[in-house]
Chains A and B, each alone.
Chain A
Amino acid sequence: MKLSFSQLLAISCALVTSFAYASSRPRYGGTARVLLHDRVNSLDPLAEEDHPQSRDRMAALTFETLTQIDSQGRLLPRLARSWQSDPSHRVWTFRLRLADFHDASPVTAADVIASLKSANADWRYSAPDRQTVVIESSSAIHHLPEMMALEKFAVVKRGADGTVTGSGPYRLSEWQQGERALFVANEDYWGGRSYPDAIEFQMGSSLRDQLLQRQLGPYAAAELNFDGLRSLEQGGANGQNVALSRPADLLVLVFLQPDLGGRTGRARRPIDPRVRQALALSLNRTAISNVLLQRQGAPAGGLLPQWLTGYEFLLPEDQDTDAARKLAASAGAVTQALTVALAYDFSDATAKLIAERIAVDAREAGIKVQPFGENHVGTKSAQATMNADAVLLRLPLPSLEPSVALAALLPDLGLDASTATAALGAGGSEELYEVERKALEGFRVVAVAHVKQALWLNSSSHNWQQLPSGAWDLDEMWVEGAR
């Protein structure tokens, strides 16, 4: 049989079209393998973790929150089918949908209240019926539903033996602490079975290592730090995608409370507020963002990024070495040979560079900063015992709702709860700006930069949604090569 050119062209077009359709149509099955840079010790959203974002990435698969925010920043129902508040925004009522935990037990209002109580014991909870949860706070909370999308408010059924059970689209199948986690699709999930059969997380392995070992093939996605991103760019990202979030993560210098004792048992000395201010003024945030962060960050004057609040430009971020030098001199930092011990995350090479840059900038102002690496800088318990005057933290943006994000950030920065309450009660941008300005006023917290999160995606993975904050939405994700 001989085929004409037109026939051949028609067949070719049909084949290409069918292949194109086949490659864009979601498929069930397969295992999505994901590389996480950090190691996670517990899946419990309330457990203290050095890198809670990695934990939250996995926890979101198995534990559900009452609400969720999509990649467009829209608030969507999840375990809560609907919600409403009284006019004062103090009392919120959530109606739950019918759902089951992975152990087949139904999700009830009592289960939800138990989880929420663990997360916040200051609120009052009630359950008018099996599917209704009422949350009452002492002050107005305008964005409680957005707050309920935070992973810390996920509904977790905690067993007496320490086991945790969720109701999410995936259930935990295998767990090797700090090494590996395997989640398999929950066939009985109320929202329908997810496309992949399983998602496997490999923890504590950088993309750079995998690149060197030429073992990236099996992975669907990998967290990227700046070294990894640079390596990927230098190596050429053929057939591979890099997804960047907005500059959302907060790189911040936090002066530890002086009443906390170091490892030696001695009370930590207080750092003069003028020295703290001088240090803040000495920072060349632009250089840090452009050079050390390779333009994957933005200079930060405030805790929340400009793109989220719109007012961050009002908060000062410019370097003023002369003013810093005068302030330091007035505080006697030079004459007293004051040394500020600055701890940074030992496992983060960029954090080391930034800490050293802070030391260089501070040196120009006459302040001696001594950076040193620590294994655990993010947890409160570690901060309470380390011999540091300040820590350099990288905190993910908790929420796309500014007031919720600020309220969630403040406890991690060591600021008092009243500020967080004020943030939750802020009715608009002006009020929130005022709350944030006051939070920064004492220079106990010095914002350095907002940093983008980078994600490497294999071309075989599809619909991997990354929120502007860097969080993942894997509800629609599927992988090629499945049935």
Chain B
Amino acid sequence: MSLKVKLLLLIALSTAACVGAVAWLIEERAHEAFRQIEQERTTGLVSQFQREFTHEGEEITRAVDTIANSDAMLRTAIDLSNGGDYAGRVNDAAAYAAAQRLDFLDLMAPDGTIISSAHWPARFGYKQRWFLEPSAPRPAQAFLKHVETPQGSVLAMLCLRPVHTHGADFYLVGGRKLDAVLASLALTEGLRVSIYSAPELGPPEILGASSDSAALDKLLPLIQQARDRRTEASATIDWGAGGLQEEIVHAIPLPGYSDHVPAVLLVGNSLRKEMALEQRIRNISLLIAIIGVSVGVIVSGIITTRLSRPINRLADAAAEIGRGNWDVTVPPGSRDEIGKLAEAFNQMTRELIAQRERLVQSERVAAWRELARRLAHELKNPLFPLQITVENLLRARETTPEQFDEIFRESTATLLAEIDNLKTIIGRFSDFSKMPAPQLQAVDLDELIRGVVHLFQGQLTREPMRIHSEFELGRVPPVTGDPVLLRRVIENLVLNAIDAMPKGGTLTFRTRLDDSEGLGHLNHQAAVFEISDTGQGLTPEECQRLFTPYYTNKQHGTGLGLAIVQAVVSDHHGKIKVSSTKNLGTTFYIELPLWDAAGESNDRGTAAS
């Protein structure tokens, strides 16, 4: 990953993180504000309900008080306490209830027997069970209670009043359905209120809202919590539609006549509007984030481009230098650290060029010295016999004239031989200097090996240094190469091997495909040619210096054979290496690229030329 990309990513991520943090903060604050508004609305509605509840209770209390304190009721109570017939009063409650607009009214005897019931006239004669429970003191104010009716239990707000007589007291229980309280509430949009009614006998129901059993099931845990703890509880209920139908429901237990909580007020605050607003804010935040990140990326792109351009130039220049192009300079551009770096780079390049020139110069001097040494060494060897021979001739002419002719013939023969030797030495140097460029073509490596071995067959089988040849050729595909130069490589290696085995041995030729991308810079398979001898072997130091020109450990070697081999292999974009074990033998490994019919050879040819 480039520095520019890294910088771009870093800045973009930083920008996105900042924008995201701001968007999250806005959303959280909006969420908090909405919740606060929701809480205020709910509190307002609950307060309104409590006011209506209290007002309705007062109305009911007033109505029941009116009945209980009326002269007619007093006369009725006195009549009944004096043994009056209950039967004649069976319809009284209905008339009183109608006059005071009460939904429920029971006239009860002191023992709780219903004398007259407005809402259930047929229930006369039965005792009001809850009235007989000695649990709590009878409340003076209105209270919640489920009233039994022919249609089932109905949640009502009731008021209990005694009608005093000289004998026992009679009682009036009157009230109204709680639905009226619900109906009187002014609900704002999104708010709804209902009452969970849980009679002691019979199934529970929800008043004031159309709800199915599934809805009730969702609310039950919350309701149960409120009833158990007798305190307000709230929860967010998801009614479906992918969370858009969420509603915060507050459950407020409504105390009743006894310990039993007869009802729970449910205030539902739909979050649809808030969620839509939150979604809108979220969308806007997201849009701002996208725009911010985009702008950030663009700006950071510009900045990183400006920042990375001189660095890239430095990197490119360094790469050029790595490739051997030393004539690269980087414009300083600015006076900042990058500019100083470019200046330092240029300075370093100049220093490197100077050092390289000095090195080349010294190497050239060393090479000339080596060449001179080698030439002196090579030429000194034939010159010394020449000098001896000439001195022998001079001495023979003076001391033994009679033998001079014979000596002269022998000496001239020696002189000619040494002069030939000098010519050979000079020819080898000439050949090394005139190494031609390879003409690349498809070369059958196996066939080439067999041809060379066949050429040297007589030399190999000469007694007493008989050398046995073995072939382990892998039928490799054609390689890219110049057959003449490659033949020369193989010949040199064979000659070296013959020289290395003066007492005979085994010379092994192997070819194989190398799948391990041994050539490194090539993405193709290579063919490997190995030639192993069982000669005296080389030391590690000898192995290191083996391909140095003019290095030889042979008496009559020029030190150019393996140098030529390495030069040819290198010109073929191949590799050569050697492994050797002292007294066991030496193996040369040569990797050559396979022939690529799709124009690869042309490229190679061009590259090689």
Chain A positions within 8 Å of B, measured between CB atoms, are: 230, 284, 287, 290-292, 294-295, 353-354, 356-360, 364, 371
Tell me if B122 and A356 are in contact (CB < 8 A): yes
Tell me if B90 and A292 are in contact (CB < 8 A): yes
- Once A292-B90, A294-B88, A295-B87 are accepted as A-B contacts, the answer to whether A287 and B124 lie under 8 Å apart by CB is yes
The answer to whether B451 has its CB under 8 Å from any CB of chain A is no
Q: Give Cα distance in the complex from A381 to B52, angstroms.
A: 53
Q: Could you tell me which residues of chain B, from 73 to 128, have a CB within 8 Å of some CB in chain A? A: 86-88, 90-91, 120-126
Residues of A within 8 A of B126 (CB): 360, 364
The answer to whether B150 has its CB under 8 Å from any CB of chain A is yes
Tell me if A356 and B87 are in contact (CB < 8 A): no
Residues of A within 8 A of B123 (CB): 357, 360
* Closest chain B residue, CB of each to CB of A233: B88
Partner of B150, one of A290, A291, A292, A359: A359
CB distance from A355 to the nearest CB of B (A): 8
Residues of A within 8 A of B125 (CB): 284, 287, 291
Q: Give Cα distance in the complex from A364 to B201, angstroms.
A: 13
CB distance from A211 to the nearest CB of B (A): 17
Chain B positions within 8 Å of A, measured between CB atoms, are: 86-88, 90-91, 120-126, 150
Q: Give Cα distance in the complex from A315 to B122, angstroms.
A: 25
Q: Give Cα distance in the complex from A235 to B124, angstroms.
A: 25
Q: Give Cα distance in the complex from A356 to B125, angstroms.
A: 13
Q: Give Cα distance in the complex from A294 to B88, angstroms.
A: 7
Residues of B within 8 A of A294 (CB): 87-88
* Closest chain A residue, CB of each to CB of B86: A291
Residues of B within 8 A of A292 (CB): 90, 122
Tell me if A356 and B120 are in contact (CB < 8 A): yes
* Closest chain B residue, CB of each to CB of A291: B87
Residues of A within 8 A of B86 (CB): 291
Tell me if B121 and A290 are in contact (CB < 8 A): no
CB distance from A18 to the nearest CB of B (A): 44
* Closest chain A residue, CB of each to CB of B116: A291
Tell me if A356 and B88 are in contact (CB < 8 A): no
* Closest chain B residue, CB of each to CB of A295: B87
Q: Give Cα distance in the complex from A351 to B125, angstroms.
A: 18
Residues of B within 8 A of A357 (CB): 122-123
CB distance from B95 to the nearest CB of A (A): 11
Q: Give Cα distance in the complex from A430 to B150, angstroms.
A: 42
CB distance from A77 to the nearest CB of B (A): 44
CB distance from A451 to the nearest CB of B (A): 15
Q: Give Cα distance in the complex from A358 to B86, angstroms.
A: 19
Residues of A within 8 A of B120 (CB): 356, 360
* Closest chain A residue, CB of each to CB of B123: A360
- Once A291-B124, A291-B125, A364-B126 are accepted as A-B contacts, the answer to whether A371 and B150 lie under 8 Å apart by CB is yes
CB distance from B45 to the nearest CB of A (A): 38
Tell me if B124 and A356 are in contact (CB < 8 A): no
Residues of B within 8 A of A284 (CB): 125
* Closest chain A residue, CB of each to CB of B89: A291
Q: Give Cα distance in the complex from A291 to B122, angstroms.
A: 9
Q: Give Cα distance in the complex from A292 to B124, angstroms.
A: 9
* Closest chain A residue, CB of each to CB of B126: A360
Partner of B122, one of A290, A295, A353: A353
Q: Give Cα distance in the complex from A353 to B86, angstroms.
A: 16
Q: Give Cα distance in the complex from A178 to B605, angstroms.
A: 128
Q: Give Cα distance in the complex from A371 to B126, angstroms.
A: 19
Tell which of B88, B90, B122 has the most Cβ of chain A within 10 Å. Answer: B122
Q: Give Cα distance in the complex from A354 to B122, angstroms.
A: 7
Q: Give Cα distance in the complex from A230 to B88, angstroms.
A: 10
CB distance from B154 to the nearest CB of A (A): 15
Tell me if B150 and A353 are in contact (CB < 8 A): no
CB distance from A383 to the nearest CB of B (A): 23
- The 8 A-B residue pairs with the shortest CB-CB distance in the complex, in nearest-first order: A356-B122, A357-B122, A291-B87, A290-B87, A287-B125, A291-B90, A360-B122, A360-B123
Question: A294-B88, A356-B122, A364-B126 given. 18 additional CB < 8 A pairs?
Answer: A230-B91, A287-B125, A290-B87, A291-B86, A291-B124, A291-B125, A292-B90, A292-B122, A353-B121, A354-B122, A356-B121, A356-B150, A357-B122, A358-B122, A359-B150, A360-B120, A360-B123, A371-B150
CB distance from A343 to the nearest CB of B (A): 15
Residues of A within 8 A of B91 (CB): 230
Residues of B within 8 A of A360 (CB): 120, 122-123, 126
19 examples of A-B residue contacts, CB within 8 angstroms: A290-B87, A291-B86, A291-B87, A291-B124, A291-B125, A292-B90, A292-B122, A295-B87, A353-B121, A354-B122, A356-B120, A356-B121, A356-B122, A356-B150, A357-B123, A358-B122, A359-B122, A360-B122, A360-B126
Q: Give Cα distance in the complex from A356 to B91, angstroms.
A: 14
Q: Give Cα distance in the complex from A230 to B89, angstroms.
A: 12
Residues of B within 8 A of A290 (CB): 87
Residues of B within 8 A of A364 (CB): 126
* Closest chain B residue, CB of each to CB of A371: B150
Residues of A within 8 A of B90 (CB): 291-292
Tell which of A230, A291, A292 has the most Cβ of chain B within 10 Å. Answer: A291
Residues of B within 8 A of A230 (CB): 91
Residues of B within 8 A of A354 (CB): 122
Q: Give Cα distance in the complex from A353 to B119, angstroms.
A: 12
Residues of A within 8 A of B87 (CB): 290-291, 294-295
Q: Give Cα distance in the complex from A409 to B90, angstroms.
A: 32
* Closest chain A residue, CB of each to CB of B90: A291
CB distance from A391 to the nearest CB of B (A): 17
